[in-house]
Amino acid sequence: MAIEIKKVGVIGAGQMGNGIAHVCALAGLDVVVQDISAEALENGIEAIKGNMARQVAKGTINASERDAAINLITMTEDLQALADADLVIEAVSENEQIKRKVYNAVCPVMKPEAILGTNTSSISITRLAAATDRPEKFIGVHFMNPVPVMELVELVRGIATDDDTFTSCKQFTDKLGKTNAVSEDFPAFMVNRILLPMINEAIYTLYEGVGSVESIDTAMRLGANHPMGPLQLADFIGLDTCLSIMQVLYEGLADTKYRPCPLLVKYVEAGWLGRKSGRGFYDYRGDTPVPTR
């Protein structure tokens, strides 16, 4: 039988984790955010408060809705706090080894009927599920960034995911006011399978000297009506994340069209990861972003 999700655990207080906590709390659900870093938890709750303040300023929510939502969020370093969650969503970095370590630690804490979800944007759900004690209750719940703004959630079933788990998670995304799109469990699912090769091609266009950062982004904004250019978007996503998704596509589908651009690799090796590190295809250290090439 499908369970009603009333309490949600989120592992990882970064951009995705705090965004998921934000929308769950606004939907009236109890939320516990767990992270091994006290600093990440501190930054996470500040980000939630800042984002909710913006929603209040825009009139999307009112002050009492914001206060009620913030009161539903608990930040903790203790995994035991997830023991009574109906759904736990893992939102740590896009690294399979780290995710497996998280599952080894959290599965013994979770109640037997609880669902374990992953916010992975590219890694096989079937393979991740096999590293848990509950493959039938394991599912991909892939939110888009920034979570409070983006309307879509990709629901991805592994080979073992049962119907009740899928139904519970579909009802959960409905409760959040999100639209879900169901994807088969293939590398990078739907959105990133289409989006990331486009970004990678934009980087090749830069690498080959066809256009500058500014001209490529202007061309796609004004010529294809994209809200932001592909290189600006890559910086927003994080170049390390872009690279890891391209590697998953390249290894998983064994097709040379998914080969990560050498320039993307070089930027990641330099630690120029985009907005979060202060430099990527643009330099964010001044008042306005300046192209780095």
Rounded to whole angstroms, the Cα distance separating 243 from 259 reads 10
154-164 mean pLDDT: 98
Nearest-angstrom CA–CA distance, 236 and 233: 5
Q: Predicted confidence band at 1 (pLDDT cuts at 50, 70, 90)?
A: confident
Q: Is 90 helix (H, G, I), strand (E, B) or coil?
A: strand
Residues 160-167, mean pLDDT to the nearest whole number: 98
Look up the pTM and report it: 0.92
Q: Which residues pair with 142 in a beta bridge?
A: 154
List the structure tokens of 87: 């759904």
Residue 71 in contact with residue 99, Cβ under 8 Å? no
User: What's the whole-number average pLDDT of the chain?
Assistant: 97
pLDDT band, residue 225 (cuts 50/70/90): very high
Average pLDDT score over residue span 143-148: 96
Determine the Cα–Cα distance for residues 30 and 68; give it in Å rounded to an integer.
11
Task: Residue 195: name the closest of 273, 271, 142, 148 by CA.
Answer: 142
Count Cβ atoms within 10 A of the Cβ of residue 223 and give its class: 0-12 exposed, 13-18 middle, 19 or more buried. exposed
- Measure the CA angle with vertex 147, ends 58 and 272; round to 5°: 110
Q: Is the pLDDT of residue 191 over 90?
A: yes
For residues 31-35, average pLDDT: 98
CA distance 238 to 91: 15
The Cα–Cα gap between 133 and 84 comes to 17
* CATH code for the domain defined by 191-285: 1.10.1040.10
CATH code, residues 7-183: 3.40.50.720
- The pLDDT of residue 218 is 98
**CA triple 17-21-22, angle to 5 deg:** 115
Nearest CA among 236, 94, 127, 120 for reference residue 189: 120
Residues of the chain with CATH 3.40.50.720: 7-183
Which residue numbers are catalytic? 121, 142, 154, 192
**Nearest-CA neighbor of 265 among 285, 276, 283, 250?**
250
Contacts 24+ apart (CB under 8 A), 109-113: 109/79, 109/80, 109/82, 109/83, 110/82, 110/83, 110/85, 110/134, 111/83, 111/84, 111/85, 113/3, 113/86, 113/137
Residues forming CATH 1.10.1040.10 domain(s) in the chain = 191-285
For 240-266, the pLDDT digits (tens) are 999 999 999 999 999 999 999 999 999
Question: What is the pLDDT averaged over residues 35-50?
Answer: 98
